């Protein structure tokens, strides 16, 4: 096993035993990136020198000893919509092609405080709008398991980097499944925390009421370590909460649920939503999920059928609320405040000297020309949809009604968790599809997130972890929990992961 193939826990153990240094670990990762990434395109920016400086500093801290985070000296990659001070942050868009972040996102700041080594920024669908990482202005990322297939999106670069061992772990963002779906497609672990558990400060906003930063990792233990490091209150972010936030009478963690110690999951009730096993779910994927449910029952869990009756409206609801918030959030990219301007671009200067004359009579001309030239097709599509649904005469018919449906979806989850401890579902209805297969059919692309979107609308936490393969492609198992009850979904995921590891060995 190469150093780049280690987990966070293995890396931390090796660093403390002086089996290797952080500099050696970082060089191993950078070497693999140099060798592999020309084929995968997981990264948009590599910061070699800065990473090696951080690694050297981590080695000094490790030499001094004392109580240090498991992340100290361990290389990480950051999705390109999450700011890293002094580093280019494009969000996968040409409009921010040369934008240098002036400060660290809170999650990045917390990683740095833990001693993490940041080696680069990962590729993504432009402004996180997509399910395949094909919408990046800088070319698609490819799935390491099959280079003809997508890695999922929008955090496809982060998932592909972890799956190909081009990094030990990565951060992504999840608005409707953008951590969990690529984790499923690439065969890694992806965790979407409860909305507010991790501060969104320094995350380029897509849909502010749904966006959440979370980890992509090689194991459930690693995801838990990262979550512990990045979660907590930030006074700049009114939606963030204290790390120790408790809600209602949540029975936190497996130890407080289990009353039959003879089985790892004794007394844990798992809910199987019938709406998630309907038409559209690939039969072979369903078979793997059913096998996982059987395994959980063998480990002591009690499976019960439950209903989330408003699930069928979730996707339609999501694609009204999200474009509406996008149309507001992306108004700042206007050719004046941020990023490129069509008026001052080389293309514009060339046009002025050639046959095509750019006409700029007022601010609106600058806005339209800049956004038309530098924003991609999917981004423009969602801005137009959102502007329409928020416009006079349509607000009540679309946006207000979607928010009412969202409240009903949240209530479905609350009622379900009165009966069960966690919900078990597929992460995605299919395995990774081929590059180009759905790019010209937005509706088919949107359906890729049909099992992940309701979780964001409700604001609850969920994790995706591998549960087998279909024709050599990974299948993801999704475990959903109560608000702020990451302890329980992580506990169930760990027990299942360990059982699978023992089975495979």
Q: Which among 359, 379, 397 is the end of a domain?
A: 397
Q: Determine what percent of the chain is predicted with pLDDT higher than 90.
A: 84
Residues 41 and 140 grouped into a single domain: yes
Provide the pLDDT for residue 256: 76
Residues 277 and 157 grouped into a single domain: no
pLDDT one-digit tens code per residue, 338-363: 788 887 665 554 544 444 555 677 88
pLDDT at 461 > cutoff 80: yes
Instruction: Identify whether 239 is part of a domain.
Output: no
Yes or no: say if 478 and 427 are a contact pair by the CB < 8 Å rule. yes
pLDDT at 420 > cutoff 80: yes
The DSSP letter of residue 269 is: E
Q: How many domains does the chain have?
A: 3
How does the average pLDDT of the chain come out, rounded? 93
Residues 77 and 142 grouped into a single domain: yes
Catalytic residue among 11, 69, 158, 178: 178
Instruction: Identify whether 248 is part of a domain.
Output: no
pLDDT one-digit tens code per residue, 386-419: 999 999 889 999 999 999 999 999 999 999 999 9
> Which tops the pLDDT comparison, 25 or 1?
25
Which stretches within 304-440 are classed as H helix? 314-329, 346-353, 363-374, 377-390, 401-416
pLDDT one-digit tens code per residue, 226-244: 999 999 999 999 999 987 7
Q: Is 240 noted as a catalytic residue in this protein?
A: no
Helix (H, G, I), strand (E, B) or coil at 160: helix
Catalytic residue among 154, 184, 231, 428: 154
Q: What is the CATH number of the domain that holds 450?
A: 3.90.1300.10
pLDDT one-digit tens code per residue, 72-122: 999 999 999 999 999 999 999 999 999 999 999 999 999 999 999 999 999
Picking from 131, 241, 143, the residue whose alpha carbon sits closest to that of residue 194 is 241
**Considering the entire predicted model, what is its pTM?**
0.95
Residues 293 and 161 grouped into a single domain: no
Residues 305 and 321 grouped into a single domain: no
Helix (H, G, I), strand (E, B) or coil at 57: helix
Provide the pLDDT for residue 462: 98
Q: Span 144-167, mean pLDDT?
A: 98
State the residue range of the domain holding 277.
257-312+401-478+489-504
Q: What is the dihedral of CA 35, 136, 183, 275, to 10 degrees?
A: -160
Q: Which among 369, 397, 425 is the end of a domain?
A: 397
Provide the pLDDT for residue 348: 53
Instruction: Identify whether 357 is part of a domain.
Output: yes
Residues 341 and 302 grouped into a single domain: no
Residues 269 and 325 grouped into a single domain: no
Residues 153 and 47 grouped into a single domain: yes
* Alpha-carbon torsion (408, 325, 181, 437), positive or negative: positive
Q: Is 79 noted as a catalytic residue in this protein?
A: yes
Residues 433 and 321 grouped into a single domain: no
Q: Is 355 noted as a catalytic residue in this protein?
A: no
Distance CA 452, CA 430 (A): 13
Element housing 470 (H / E): strand 462-470
Provide the pLDDT for residue 344: 66
Catalytic residue among 21, 22, 79, 131: 79
Provide the pLDDT for residue 261: 63
Residues 343 and 470 grouped into a single domain: no
Instruction: Identify whether 241 is part of a domain.
Output: no
Residues 99 and 18 grouped into a single domain: yes
């Amino acid at each position: 096993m190469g150093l780049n193939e280690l987990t966070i826990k293995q890396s931390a153990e090796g660093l403390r035993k002086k089996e290797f240094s952080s500099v050696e670990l970082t060089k191993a990762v950078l070497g693999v990136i140099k060798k592999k990434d020309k084929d995968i395109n997981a990264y948009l920016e590599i910061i070699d020198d800065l990473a090696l400086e951080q690694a050297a500093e981590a080695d000094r801290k490790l030499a001094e000893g004392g109580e240090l985070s498991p992340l100290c000296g361990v290389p990480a990659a950051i999705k390109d919509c999450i700011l890293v001070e002094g580093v280019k942050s494009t969000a996968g868009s040409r409009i921010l092609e040369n934008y240098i972040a002036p400060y660290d996102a809170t999650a990045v700041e917390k990683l740095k405080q833990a001693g993490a080594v940041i080696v680069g920024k990962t590729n993504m669908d432009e402004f996180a709008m997509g399910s395949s990482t094909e919408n990046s202005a800088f070319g698609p990322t490819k799935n390491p398991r099959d280079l003809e297939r997508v890695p999922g999106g929008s955090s496809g670069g982060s998932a592909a980097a972890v799956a190909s061992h081009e990094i030990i772990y990565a951060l992504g963002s999840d608005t409707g499944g953008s951590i969990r779906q690529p984790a499923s497609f690439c065969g890694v672990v992806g965790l979407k925390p409860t909305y507010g558990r991790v501060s969104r400060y320094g995350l380029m906003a897509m849909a502010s009421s749904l966006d959440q930063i979370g980890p992509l990792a090689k194991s459930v233990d690693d995801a838990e370590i990262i979550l512990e490091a990045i979660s907590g209150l930030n006074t700049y972010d009114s939606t963030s909460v204290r790390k120790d936030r408790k809600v209602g009478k949540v029975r936190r963690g497996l130890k407080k649920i289990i009353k039959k110690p003879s089985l790892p999951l004794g007394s844990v009730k798992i809910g199987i939503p019938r709406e998630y096993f309907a038409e559209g779910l690939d039969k072979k994927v369903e078979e793997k999920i059913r096998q996982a449910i059987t395994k959980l029952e063998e480990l002591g869990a009690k499976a019960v059928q439950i209903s989330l009756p408003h699930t069928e409206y979730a996707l339609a609801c999501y694609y009204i609320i999200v474009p509406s918030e996008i149309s507001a959030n992306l108004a700042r990219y206007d050719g004046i405040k941020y990023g490129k301007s069509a008026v001052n671009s080389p293309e514009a200067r060339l046009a002025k000297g050639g046959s095509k004359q750019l006409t700029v009579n007022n601010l609106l001309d600058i806005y339209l020309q800049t956004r038309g030239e530098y924003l991609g097709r999917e981004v423009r599509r969602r801005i137009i949809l959102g502007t329409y649904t928020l416009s006079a005469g349509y607000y009540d018919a679309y946006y207000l009604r979607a928010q009412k449906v969202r409240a009903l979806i949240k209530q479905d989850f609350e009622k379900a968790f009165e009966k069960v401890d966690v919900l078990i579902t597929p992460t995605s209805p299919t395995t990774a599809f081929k590059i180009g297969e759905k790019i010209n059919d937005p509706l088919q692309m949107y359906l890729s997130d049909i099992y992940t979107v309701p979780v964001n609308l409700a604001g609850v936490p969920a994790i995706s972890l591998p549960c087998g393969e279909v024709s050599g492609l990974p299948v993801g198992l999704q475990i959903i929990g109560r608000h702020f009850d990451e302890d329980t979904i992580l506990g169930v995921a760990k027990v299942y992961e360990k059982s699978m590891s023992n089975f495979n060995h």
